[in-house]
């Protein structure tokens, strides 16, 4: 890492990949199926995105890993020349609980698309990601639901370690970084055990998995605080599945370097736009005649070009342009936030930055948030393999 801010764990660093150097802290937009929904690669670059996330599970089912390999690899296939991180499919083991069977050997599952049967193993997951040509690939892990008891979570911790060993042994490409994943649910002693075991394998970076699955936020941060001290200070730390603005700021303050989430793009398509005051619902009647941008401080294409009234109209009419403009705005808000965080760390003013941001940003009520999360997790769309 390059710099640690005074009186906090917030820090600056770099991820060195074959497709470029990424400065951290960084947020990865989710493009599970080879696209960040509604946006083209050049638009992502204009927004300030430097690295994106794909998903080996989804790409394995459609269009097929061999197809992508024949087309020159994932970068060429999706016309993105920057770094790509691919998830292993471990999250889908969690999200598709009704369609899979987990054993020590791997995971047997039925496709959510056509019901066909498939098997993933630690070795096959590494091979799939190597064929894709991603810059960063993830070890296969077992992600238990946060409501699982200690016995089940302990079993997942042990299995995740054994799978990590197998992934590491099978990993062949020196051009790809293989990250290990720490599990442990909401049990501090299991978080410690998993972190100690995974770090003993000496991966180039470590992810914290199994959080932001519907547990209260105070538990999320408690488990992050229990885990970070067990991770090497000189290697990147990746908090998987976390991406709301307030959570990014909190995560950075706790020593996290990398974030990813479908949240910014998913809520954009539902008309929720980030501002420094918190999320704003552009569908509300108050925006019908608002002749200024949604966020007057934002420099994104949507805010530079269109009024809030026009975006309100597009959403009310369900015009496709609405989803694209809202996605541009939300991702630009996140990239601007990351820029502000980095500048504050560089200037040793991150604590002031954090306090100022959180004092003005109205977060979603915790009960409402948990209810929305439960609704999302139980919805039919969620079982479409949790496509963001």
Question: Distance between CA 36 and CA 28 in Å, rounded?
Answer: 10
Question: Distance between CA 353 and CA 343 in Å, rounded?
Answer: 10
Question: Distance between CA 170 and CA 124 in Å, rounded?
Answer: 9
Name the pairing type of β-strands 3-4 and 136-138: unpaired
Contact 350, 341 (CB under 8 A): yes
* Annotated catalytic residue, options 135, 141, 247, 260: 260
**Mapping DSSP to helix (H, G, I), strand (E, B) and coil, where does residue 18 land?**
coil
225 is catalytic: no
* Annotated catalytic residue, options 87, 141, 257, 295: 87
Contact 164, 201 (CB under 8 A): yes
**Mapping DSSP to helix (H, G, I), strand (E, B) and coil, where does residue 70 land?**
helix
Question: Distance between CA 42 and CA 48 in Å, rounded?
Answer: 10
104 is catalytic: no
Distances (CA, A) of 125 to 57, 119, 240, 277, 340: 9, 10, 18, 42, 36
Q: Residue 24's closest CA among 252, 250, 202?
A: 252
Q: Cβ atoms within 10 A of the Cβ of 214, count?
A: 15
For residue 211, the 8-state DSSP code is -
Question: Distance between CA 37 and CA 167 in Å, rounded?
Answer: 30
Q: Which residues are catalytically annotated?
A: 87, 260
């Amino acid at each position: 890492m390059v710099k640690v801010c005074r009186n906090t764990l917030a820090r600056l660093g770099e991820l060195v990949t074959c497709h470029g150097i990424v400065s951290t802290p960084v947020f990865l937009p989710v493009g599970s199926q080879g696209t960040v929904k509604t946006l083209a690669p050049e638009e992502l670059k204009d927004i300030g995105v430097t690295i994106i996330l794909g998903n080996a599970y989804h790409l394995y089912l459609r269009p097929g890993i061999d197809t992508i390999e024949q087309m020159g690899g994932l970068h060429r296939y999706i016309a993105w020349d920057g770094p790509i991180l691919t998830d292993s499919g471990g999250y889908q083991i969690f999200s598709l609980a009704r369609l899979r069977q987990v054993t020590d050997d791997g995971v047997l599952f039925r496709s959510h698309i056509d019901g066909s049967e498939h098997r993933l193993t630690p070795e096959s997951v590494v091979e799939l990601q190597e064929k894709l040509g991603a810059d960063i690939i993830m070890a296969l892990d077992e992600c238990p639901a946060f409501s699982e008891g200690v016995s089940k979570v302990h079993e997942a911790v042990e299995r995740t370690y054994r799978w990590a060993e197998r992934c590491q042994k099978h990993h062949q490409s020196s051009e790809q970084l293989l990250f290990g994943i720490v599990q442990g649910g909401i049990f501090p002693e299991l978080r410690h055990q998993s972190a100690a075991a995974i770090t003993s394998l000496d991966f180039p970076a470590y992810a914290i998995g199994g959080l932001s699955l519907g547990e209260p936020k105070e538990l999320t941060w408690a488990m992050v605080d229990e885990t970070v001290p067990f991770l090497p200070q000189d290697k990147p730390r990746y908090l998987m599945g976390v991406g709301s603005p307030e959570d990014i700021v909190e995560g950075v303050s706790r020593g996290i370097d990398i974030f990813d989430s479908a949240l910014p793009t998913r809520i954009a398509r539902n008309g929720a736009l980030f501002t420094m005051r918190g999320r704003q619902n552009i569908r509300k009647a108050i925006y019908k005649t608002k002749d200024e941008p949604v966020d007057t401080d934002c420099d994104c294409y949507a805010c530079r070009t269109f009024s809030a009234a026009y975006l309100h109209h597009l959403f009310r009419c369900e015009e496709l342009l609405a989803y694209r403009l809202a996605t541009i705005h939300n991702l630009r808000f996140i990239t601007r936030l990351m820029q502000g965080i980095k500048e504050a760390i560089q200037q040793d003013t991150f604590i002031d930055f954090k306090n100022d941001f959180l004092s003005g940003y109205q977060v979603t009520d915790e009960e409402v948030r948990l209810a929305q999360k439960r609704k999302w997790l139980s919805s039919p769309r969620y079982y479409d393999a949790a496509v963001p």
